[in-house]
Structure 1
């Protein structure tokens, strides 16, 4: 900001409308997706699981992120820094800090929901163990994030109040570490079920559709990669309030696309009702992967009410139902 040279010709520029449109549209889309998921699980399958509850919490924090970014915009985000009144700086930085906190918690909860969904869907013992390890890693990472975000400045109020004397860690380095861990874990979680899915003896059309649904998770990964580029631009610009818009909006897009990718596989009961010929009954089961696959227009529940279908004859697998 010290190298910033005001350009009066740019005083009227504002990206406020762009911010509001992105926040509004994708808040509605992700909320509808979570709402449809809850409807399918509560009223069609009548079995609301832990992964669904965690996803509701993740969506609540995604909306909280939208509110925090909206407050940033109210106090200057999207306008050139030299046009923002000095009294807006502290509330802007408070909203910025809040957006960082809720973003990171929402990302963790979304991934935890996906892993819990894997535990519900895949009975393969190796898959179950890997999923448990991944959940433990995410829990440890969440604790580490809590310490990082708390200790980024001492006292923490020095983050948003320049009049408070204190010591702060190098914020860009922390942002890059967080973004890097998020990206690596995104790819790891996305590829985790692929070997099991490929082993399913399904009709070719449904197998392709199933893989395609899970591969939609590559889109949030692509968003995460682009977001890292926007972080670099935001940390190096002399006009942070204007140039931080991309980092803020792409962070929000990463949250919402992650929620969408996590919810789409659970919407099959609704798709069956709308397009029964495309998503209707067919069945298949594996013999080597410890996974039984049963796909039908009418879901059924085993003796273990947290799973769908019946187990293998040797008891090593449970039904595989994308719900």
Structure 2
């Protein structure tokens, strides 16, 4: 808890302005690189639009933080009267309170967009009814979570007011309890989203070295879980400090403000990281594989999403997955022979080791062979 205290109780107006600028630029750069990578690869899809929306909200939160730091009292001690009581009608304090309400509402919406983008990305690269159903259920939970906490933050007081503290005598719920509930549920959802791809990746017919590489790529999202956990611990610390410093709210509740901005910006970055492979290939001078329309392979699978003729992923999803994150053809378990003419394709699966692909495409009267 000493580390949390050092993080939470040592800041200034200048630091708040610096953080606001840095975490405004970070998501813009992250999504810009993502769009570049998608332009090189398979093009813009629904998950990209969702993360663009999250970026817009993230930038909005950073702007609100700058307003609160420059015109309000973010990261600064609250103005008090000669009797030591806080001046509740101080214009800078009023701006801080309004900005705090705004950032709590906006960050909730932004996190909902990020989580939804990741789940849509999962559904795009993994086939199988059980996984799709699980993803849809979690997506429904994310949408419900976003809507619920959007309105919970909006109606913390009724009528709607940013002044939630007891000394205003408004009809409000316990703001700290609301923040605790939001932070804990945020962590639980992040952990669920983080572990969802693990069993799917473990079923891939790949050497363990390659499996671990793919797992590491997906587990980069653990950084978001770390920030979510830190934010929850910060909330607990804020509650303890406010009990001792009730007349210095702007200083001791500032972490509630800027940690929301930090978590949302890093969440956007984490959602973008798995999409950067085409840029990496371009920088290394290697050809960037374009996303093909449809799948190379027909989806010969049962309701579990596993190929009936071999263990692991259905072959269609392996190919699409490989295009997305750069898996090689060095996969074990089945041999595949494919011949294609016009728009018709057939596949044959037999026992053996490795994947062997034969494709014949007729362009006019001239056959083109590729093995």
Taking structure 1 as the reference length, what is the TM-score of the superposition? 0.81
Q: CA RMSD in A?
A: 2.5
Question: Does the CA contact (< 8 Å) of 1:77 and 1:241 recur in 2?
Answer: yes
Pairwise mapping of residues 199-214 of structure 1 onto structure 2 (< 5 A)?
199-214=203-218
The number of residues matched between the two structures is 288
Question: Does the CA contact (< 8 Å) of 1:115 and 1:135 recur in 2?
Answer: yes
Residue 300 of structure 1 is matched in structure 2 by 291
Structure 1 residues 311 and 64: alpha-carbon distance in aligned structure 2, compared to 1, 3 A threshold = farther
Residue 76 of structure 1 is matched in structure 2 by 73
For the residues of structure 2 that align with 1:198 and 1:276, how far apart are their CA atoms?
30
Question: Does the CA contact (< 8 Å) of 2:30 and 2:272 recur in 1?
Answer: yes
Question: Does the CA contact (< 8 Å) of 1:302 and 1:310 recur in 2?
Answer: no
1:196 aligns with 2:200: yes
Match of 2:159 among 155, 162, 167: 155
Q: How far apart are residue 219 of structure 1 and its match?
A: 1.2
1:19 aligns with 2:28: no
Match of 1:39 among 36, 40, 43: 36
1:58 aligns with 2:54: yes
Q: How far apart are residue 276 of structure 1 and its match?
A: 5.7
For the residues of structure 2 that align with 1:123 and 1:213, how far apart are their CA atoms?
19
Residue 226 of structure 1 is matched in structure 2 by 230
Pairwise mapping of residues 276-295 of structure 1 onto structure 2 (< 5 A)?
none
Moved more, 311-320 or 173-182: 311-320
1:248 aligns with 2:245: no
Structure 1 residues 14 and 45: alpha-carbon distance in aligned structure 2, compared to 1, 3 A threshold = closer
Pairwise mapping of residues 107-118 of structure 1 onto structure 2 (< 5 A)?
107-118=111-122
For the residues of structure 1 that align with 2:16 and 2:204, how far apart are their CA atoms?
43
Moved more, 249-258 or 189-198: 249-258
For the residues of structure 2 that align with 1:309 and 1:17, how far apart are their CA atoms?
55
Q: How far apart are residue 300 of structure 1 and its match?
A: 3.3
For the residues of structure 2 that align with 1:311 and 1:302, how far apart are their CA atoms?
13
Structure 1 residues 72 and 310: alpha-carbon distance in aligned structure 2, compared to 1, 3 A threshold = farther
For the residues of structure 2 that align with 1:178 and 1:101, how far apart are their CA atoms?
11
1:101 aligns with 2:109: no
For the residues of structure 2 that align with 1:116 and 1:190, how far apart are their CA atoms?
14
For the residues of structure 1 that align with 2:223 and 2:165, how far apart are their CA atoms?
37
Question: Does the CA contact (< 8 Å) of 2:118 and 2:271 recur in 1?
Answer: yes
Structure 1 residues 187 and 162: alpha-carbon distance in aligned structure 2, compared to 1, 3 A threshold = closer
Question: Does the CA contact (< 8 Å) of 1:40 and 1:267 recur in 2?
Answer: yes
Unmatched tracts of structure 2, length 5 or more: 1-9, 81-85, 306-313, 326-371
Question: Does the CA contact (< 8 Å) of 1:158 and 1:168 recur in 2?
Answer: no
Question: Does the CA contact (< 8 Å) of 1:121 and 1:322 recur in 2?
Answer: yes
Residue 121 of structure 1 is matched in structure 2 by 125
For the residues of structure 2 that align with 1:17 and 1:158, how far apart are their CA atoms?
24
Unmatched tracts of structure 1, length 5 or more: 1-12, 281-296
Residues 188-226 of structure 1: CA deviation (Å, up to 9, x unaligned): 000011110122123444332221111111111111111
| Larger Rg over CA atoms | 2
Structure 1 residues 164 and 19: alpha-carbon distance in aligned structure 2, compared to 1, 3 A threshold = closer
SS at match of 2:277: helix
Q: How far apart are residue 271 of structure 1 and its match?
A: 1.2
Residue 6 of structure 1 is matched in structure 2 by none
For the residues of structure 2 that align with 1:252 and 1:220, how far apart are their CA atoms?
12
Residue 5 of structure 1 is matched in structure 2 by none
1:275 aligns with 2:284: yes
Question: Does the CA contact (< 8 Å) of 1:65 and 1:103 recur in 2?
Answer: yes
For the residues of structure 2 that align with 1:156 and 1:253, how far apart are their CA atoms?
26
Taking structure 2 as the reference length, what is the TM-score of the superposition? 0.71
Residue 285 of structure 1 is matched in structure 2 by none
Structure 1 residues 183 and 162: alpha-carbon distance in aligned structure 2, compared to 1, 3 A threshold = closer
SS at match of 1:167: coil
Question: Does the CA contact (< 8 Å) of 2:58 and 2:261 recur in 1?
Answer: yes
Q: How far apart are residue 51 of structure 1 and its match?
A: 0.6
